[in-house]
Structure 1
């Protein structure tokens, strides 16, 4: 098969997706890699040629790769994930509205262009979790205890170490903090199977919980499967906190890291090939049992694997 991967600059050295690209190449497939942030791309010709069996996106939220993926989808080409599904979860404000309208357990969500606007939220809703609507990888997530803290410099535009993490740029969302143990449950879906891992919450950096695979509760499995169906996702991850009233969804990610998933590279590569052959569609999801064997992974080398690189 012939595949085109759109890889954002942030992931140029990451095992996910570079190890997947190497694996697909080792299996005899042709993989073209496009770097949206640092390449001249003949977009109309490349897409109109229709020479790829599928286009695969691994980019940051707000990056240019999604536009290229949507362009491919607009002319009927297969994309992984479905481009419309990705747009639905990349915008966290939109994702919250869609999820709550479908009865999924998502906190009440407020949106504003400036963090200070959240001071109008009733004091009973505090503490709040404030984050960019297009954020990713826990970037610029803040726990705000009181309305007064919304005026702090850390929540001003351009705030953060070295002026990075601009919490005040673009749309922000705020959600009431859900009391929990400080450990997030991250559930990955790959090849129709669900894998649960636990890790420290970015809101509780002082905790030292090793990231590890854990049993998947049945109620969480039902929620994560429902998310795949509602949003039309095939490869995705869901962040869950176990609050006093049960599981709460705090984030949804397309094509996440799949950390702690057994034989993740081979499983993701297999899933991509299946979707490329059949077209993106949400498979029936099941909770994964104990780790099973997969094809032997090719050791990761340096650079991008064989194949045309733009």
Structure 2
């Protein structure tokens, strides 16, 4: 089987180990140029793993999908997860518990008092497009908002109501049917993955599992991470990441390899039928 990983170069040890394991039984390439998809059907891989957030990688994935290849996660699902406004709308439409969210063309435009009228302080301000180094900030008042303008004034943003919680995020990683979770100090305060505290399966409430899976289903994701906060025992989905690094998940290499091989096995016959 031909497998192509679309990902930026990174030292992610989980992904490196997954590639090594898959390469023992399959032909695995990393990256991929548009020509490899356009040149002809025979050169299209059977399975594409869309890890990259780049427009080029998504374009490659779309062309491969059009030629009958299987793409995990699909380009449409990935694009929705990268657009936080589209994500918020989709979660709301599917009844997934999530914060009320508003969108604004730029942070500078949002800082106008008329735009802020009636919004519940404090607010969580985020870049509309999810990317490395983007804006994610808890803003308590107008003064704190104004302080962001010199650097972020022209940034398209969304604004979310702040869900009061115990100061911890619940990180949930989903790999097909496999789900694991950990507790982490809220990213709004600090992001120290080394301090994650794994949550035993027996201690993970069904409501938390259901909320994470509902979020993935709403966005059409098969491999994803969901960030939850808990208020009065109720989980709220505050973010969803398509194809995260899975560092911190339980047995991520084994789970990913098992899932991808079973997914590919069941879909390969369909893929070859489409191409023929």
Q: 1:216 to 1:151 in 2, by over 3 A?
A: same
1:114 aligns with 2:99: no
Give the TM-score taking structure 2 as reference length: 0.85
**Pairing partner for 2:209 from 221, 228, 232:** 221
The answer to whether the Cα contact below 8 Å between 2:211 and 2:236 also exists between their aligned partners in 1 is no
- The separation in 1 between residues aligned to 2:52 and 2:41, in whole angstroms, is 22
1:176 correspondence with 2:180: no
- Alpha-carbon shift at residue 218 of structure 1 (Å): 1.0
2:2 maps to 2
CA–CA distance in structure 1, aligned partners of residues 138 and 118 of structure 2: 14
Cα distance 1:18–1:230, how it changes in 2: closer, same or farther (>3 A)?
A: same
Q: Is the 8 A contact 2:125 2:159 kept in 1?
A: yes
Task: For 1:133-152, list aligned pairs within 5 A.
Answer: 133-136=128-131, 139-152=134-147
Q: How far apart are the structure 2 equivalents of 1:124 and 1:41?
A: 45
2:179 alignment partner in structure 1:
194
Q: Which residue of 2 aligns with 1:131?
A: 126
Q: Is the 2:12–2:245 Cα contact (8 Å) retained in structure 1?
A: no
Aligned to 2:80: 88
State the alpha-carbon separation in 2 of the partners of residues 74 and 96 from structure 1. Answer: 28
The 3-state SS of whatever aligns with 1:203 is coil
Task: Identify which of 19, 43, 51 aligns with 2:17.
Answer: 19
Alpha-carbon distance change, 46 to 201 in structure 1, aligned in 2, over 3 angstroms: farther
Matching residue of 1:300 = none
Partners of 1:275 and 1:25 in 2: how far apart? 16
What secondary structure does 1:125 align onto?
coil
Q: CA RMSD in A?
A: 2.5
Partner of 1:204, secondary structure, is coil
Q: CA deviation at 1:147?
A: 2.3
> Structure 1 108/138 Cα, relative in aligned 2: closer, same or farther at 3 Å?
farther
C-alpha contact 2:107 2:155 (8 A) present in aligned 1 = no
How far apart are residue 41 of structure 1 and its match? 4.2
Match of 1:53 among 46, 56, 70: 46
Q: Answer whether contact 1:123 1:146 (CA < 8 A) is retained.
A: no
Q: Aligned residue pairs: how many? A: 262
More helix by share: 2
Greater Cα offset, 202-211 or 72-81: 202-211
1:51 CA displacement: 3.6
Pair 44,101 (structure 1): closer, same or farther in 2 beyond 3 Å: same
Instruction: State the SS of the aligned residue for 1:42.
Output: helix
Partner Cα separation in structure 2 for residue 85 and residue 206 of structure 1: 26
Contact 1:191 1:270 in 2 (8 A): no
| Contact 1:123 1:147 survives alignment (8 Å) | no
Q: TM-score, normalised by structure 1?
A: 0.76
> Where in structure 1 are there 5+ consecutive unaligned residues?
160-166, 281-310
Question: Is the 2:125–2:137 contact (alpha carbons within 8 Å) kept by the matching residues of 1?
Answer: yes
Alignment partner of 1:185 out of 166, 170, 177: 170
Other-structure match for 1:78 = 70
Query: What is the distance in 2 between the residues matched to 1:94 and 1:208?
Result: 27
- Cα 1:219–1:138 change in 2 (3 A) is farther
SS of structure 2 residue aligned to 1:76: coil
